[in-house]
Structures are given as C-alpha cells and as structure tokens.
A and B are shown apart, each in its own frame.
Chain A
C-alpha cells in the first residue's frame, strides 16, 4: 500500500472553481475521509487522484512518484463506485476474477488470488454461486472483492454505501473498516454522511466550496470545529449557535449573551467589538430553572434513553439532548445552562473559530 501526497491542487471547470488549493497527505495505512455537502469538491478531488480528471494545477504523488498527469490505468489504484455493480449472469468467482482477466497473470495465479480474496471476505463458500442469488451483504462483499483482488496501492471510494438501509449500512461501515485494517490498505473515502465519516475515519477533511475547512481526527473535528461550517455540518443534531455582540480580550472567561453572563473557555486572542456566535453541542446543554438564559420549547423529540429539545431564544435556536426522564413540554419556558469547558466561539463574519482554552493541547 501507498501514501498519497496532494499539493496545491486546483480544478476549474470554465468559470467554476471546484477545488481551490487542497494540500494533504494520506499516510500509508490510513483511512482518510473527504466529507462535505454536494458540490464541495470532494468527488472532484477523488477523481483527480484516480486520474479520471486532470487538475488545472498542483501535483499528486503516489508513493513519492508524480502521477499528476499519468493515465488512470497506470496508477494502480482501485476505484469503488456505488456498490452492487456486479455482472449478474456470472458466478462469484468470475466476478472477482474479472479485473485480472486482462492482467496477463497465469490462470493458476488468478485462481489463487481469487481464493485468497474470497477467504479474506469470508465468501469462499459462495465462489461457484451466481451473484444474482446472493443476499445484499454478500453481493457487497463480492463487489469489494473485485476491488481488492488486484492488490492496488490505494482504494478510492465514492459514497459506496449511499443507497443502503440504515441497519445494513451500520454493518457495512464495520466491515469496510475491519477489511481496511486487515489488508493494511490506504483508503480515500468520499461521503456527505458525517456519521459514516465519524465512524470510519482516521482523519476527516471537511470540504466546503472547494476549500478544505478542517483536517483532523474525528474527535478533534467534533470537539474543536475550526469554523461555523464544520460545527454545523457535523453532529446529529449539529451544534447550535447563539449570537452575541461585544469585544473579546485574551483572558476573558465569560461573555454576555442577551444580558446573561455565560462562562466560556478562556479566550486566547483579542477582537475589537463585533458580532460573534457562541457554539454549543446538544449534549452540553442542561436545563436549569435558575438560569438567566431563557428559551421557549418548540420541539420535543423522544428517542428512548434521551430526548432532543428544540428551544427558541432571542439569540437563536438551541438544541439539547437530555435524559427522557426529564418532563418537558412544548411551549415550556426553560432556563439553559451550558457545559462551559466545551463551548466554541466563532467570529460571525469570517465564520472562523476564536482561539480559546478549548484549543490548548
């Protein structure tokens, strides 16, 4: 397996900039996820790594070798599209063997590779069966087998689980990640589904309008979002934002939100008076009748162990995830308290996070 090094990558379609200066290195053995909404440039980035698109400028190194303008067929990369793209009239064996047919390998070598691959995926008992009779999970494994049988340097996957049921998807998330570890693969995985990204990635690159907004391990991206966009894209429900106006000085430990004094992680950089957003994750909100920060409940969603409350405040909508044993009803007026050490602060006009004690190592 291989490392992939992407430097100053740009892609322009006429006057539309799809990818605007991406820099990242996917380490050997890493599961790297490109995450973002449709149109953010994630698939274009993947297609440039695969050689299906040529960049406007920038370089792509595969294991140190410059492949920026190399033909796709010469890059030794396996591209997995939406799964289930199998040849329905063929057996499992022939489906998996197909990519090797034109490789020049001997028949016995092909046979050996197909059998190893099938064992790895635990479908060796299905080799002689027709794929059209297989259950969904097994079909997906065959599709994966076809990608790994070539032993490519890297796997590129474009929303491979896009159309699956939630339950089956959870299962495949586990299997894909386990397989990646077992064969020591390097994987670049594109998705718009933050849950998939959080569950599978070693590192996530969050993209927005062609720009990489943040790059880091899932927990870091979740806990310390670098921008409003990232905070708003990740989490279900995502972070809530409360508007406030004021000046920020290094050393500040609280901010004024509509007259209520709200403790925050100690501020590490200064800003002149401006508009800011206080960012709070739903699980960091508590109900406290004594709090000056008030909200009116506009939604109560029962989830069993927990419930999600939606509360309207003059500064914005706040979502809370609390125990469902707390009795709350629509139109209740409630007091809000936040877990101060976990709050984020954003500069509203630029959207970027203000540096605070949250970012201390």
Chain B
C-alpha cells in the first residue's frame, strides 16, 4: 500500500468548480474518510485519484510518483462503487478471482485459489463461494464487491459510499467489518460518505468537504472536540450541537469576540429554576427508553439536551442552564480558542 497526495488540485465541469485547490494526504495504512453533502466534490476527488477524471490544475502523487498524467490502469488503485456491480453469470468464487485473472498477471491457479479463500474468509462469504452471485442477499453481494476490491493489493482502495444502498442493520455490521479488515491488512483507504456516523466510526482521519474545499481535517475526536468553525461543529455529533447567541446568557464567562456558544449536550448542566430565576423553559420532554430528550426554549432559541431517565423535569418546567467548557464562535462562525 502507499501514500497518496493531492497538491492544489482543481477540477471544473463547465462553469461549475467541483474541486478547488485541494490539498490532501492519505498516509500509508490510513483510513481516511471524506465527509460532505451531495455536490461537495467527494466522488470527483475519488475519480481524480483513480484517473477517471483529469484535473485542470495541481498534482496527484501516488507512492512517491507523479501520477497526474497516468492512465487509470497505471495507477494501481482499486475502486468500490456505491452499487455492487458483480458478474451475474459467475459464481462468488469467479467474481472474487476475476481481477487476478488478467492475462498480464500470469498468476498461477494455486495462488489465485489461496487469495480468494483468504479474502472470502475476511469478508465472511467463504461458505457461499460456489453460489451464483445473483443468488445472494444485498449485504452478501456488497461483501463480494468489497472482497473483489480487496483481492488485489493496490496502492490505495477508493470506496464511494459502499454501504449506502444497504439497510440500517447491515450497514452497522459491515461498517465494523470494513474497519476490522482495514486494520488487519494495514490497508490505505479513501472512503467517501455523507453519513457522519459512518465517518466517525470508520475514520482514522476525517476530511470535511464543502463546495469543493476542505473545511477541516483531523481525527474524529479532534474535529468533534475542536471544530474549526460552526460548519464543522454541526457536521459531527447527534443530537447536533446547540448554537446559543451569547447575549442570551450574559452571565456565562466567555472570550472576547464571542458571538455564539456551541453547546453539546455534555456541555450543559441543567438545574430546576429557583425563586423565579431561570434561563429557559422545557417545551418538550421526550422519553426515549434509557434517556430523555429535553427541548428547552431559551428566549426564543431552542436547546436540545439529553438527560438521564431519572430526571423529573417535564414540559413547562422552568430551568437554569450552566455551560461547562462549551465552544466559542466569533461573528464569522470561526471557533475562538480560549
């Protein structure tokens, strides 16, 4: 596996700029996730690395070599698409073996068999090797598609929302499997998704992409705890971070120029209002099994917090709010480091 670097890469389609001066390094053995909405340039980035698109500007370096002008086949990358595309007339075994059968590889049959069996075990499809690929469930087909990519050891695996067509339960299972496989193989993976939970659970590092530009990159914990700006703060975490105008809570200490508090549920301490002294009022108490959601109106701003099920607060109650190490944002929405 290898390191892949993009230097000031730009790509336009007609008048639309898909990627704008993107600088990005995926380290050898790293699981890097690009997170962003449709149209942010995620898939374009993958296609640029694969050589399926040519950048107008910038350099793409794969394994230390300038690959910007190389044809896709010369780059030695492996692509997993959103829709599993298997050969329907072939067995699972033959689908997995296919990338190894290229005449140029001249790989002996025994080695092919060995590799197929190893990968089939890894993606847990070894009990169905002789099945026709059409006789598999959706999750099994996607496992075969991922297995077919993993059968080679290219410079990098490029994965374009490989789990998005699966149902919730399978997504959770396969998420864990992909992570395990990556760790076991020490694979270099660039994975794109619009699902923040997927990004947080899979990535060594996340790059948040917005309109063709990288907003922030870092480990999930870094971005969650120290987002660069409000956009990045809103991307990670459920429930979403509360944004409270600073003037609504004048008693809270804050750095100069703070316009907005960013308060996640773990930053908020709720107390019952006393002697008419309150910051807000509970407008909705939703009991979800082992925890409860409280929606609190703070002078027109709604704040959502999770509280333990023992909490006796209910709709209509006056509450006091204290912030504990919240995030601070300035007028432009950039985070202020206290």
Contact = CB atoms under 8 A, between A and B. Distances in A.
A joins B in a complex: yes
Interface of B: 37-38, 138, 167-169, 172, 175-176, 179-180, 194-197, 200-201, 220-221, 224, 236-238, 264-266, 288-291, 306
Given A219-B288, A304-B264, 4 more contacts: A168-B37, A305-B237, A308-B201, A310-B176
Nearest to A237: B172
A167 B37 contact: yes
B176 A165 contact: no
A349 interface: no
A292 interface: no
Interface in A207-233: 219, 222-223, 232-233
Contacts of B200: 301-304
A305 B306 contact: yes
Contact of B168 (A195, A219, A299): A195
Contacts of B197: 303
Contact of B290 (A194, A195, A232, A284): A284
A305 B290 contact: no
Nearest to B172: A237
B168 A194 contact: yes
B201 A301 contact: yes
A44 to B, nearest CB: 18
Contacts of B290: 281, 283-284, 339, 342
By size class, the interface of chain A is 20 to 34
B295 to A, nearest CB: 13
Contacts, number: 74
16 contacts: A38-B138, A166-B195, A193-B167, A194-B168, A232-B169, A236-B168, A236-B169, A281-B290, A284-B289, A299-B176, A301-B179, A301-B201, A302-B224, A304-B238, A308-B201, A342-B289
A193 B179 CA distance: 23
A192 interface: yes
A29 interface: no
Interface string A156-173: 000000000111100000
A305 B221 CA distance: 10
A238 B171 CA distance: 11
A233 B169 contact: yes
Most chain B CB within 10 A, of A166, A222, A342, is at A166
A21 interface: no
A152 interface: no
Contacts of A233: 169
Nearest to B201: A301
A351 interface: no
A283 B264 CA distance: 19
- Across the A-B interface, give the 5 residue pairs with the lowest CB-CB distance, nearest first: A301-B201, A304-B237, A283-B290, A304-B224, A237-B172
Interface in A226-279: 232-233, 236-238
Contacts of B238: 303-305
A37 interface: yes
Contacts of A168: 37
Contacts of B236: 304
Max count, chain A CB within 10 A of own CB: residue among B201, B221, B264: B201
Nearest to A300: B201
Given A302-B200, A302-B201, A304-B238, A166 B167 contact: no
B208 to A, nearest CB: 13
A302 B175 CA distance: 13
Contacts of A193: 167-168
A311 B221 CA distance: 22
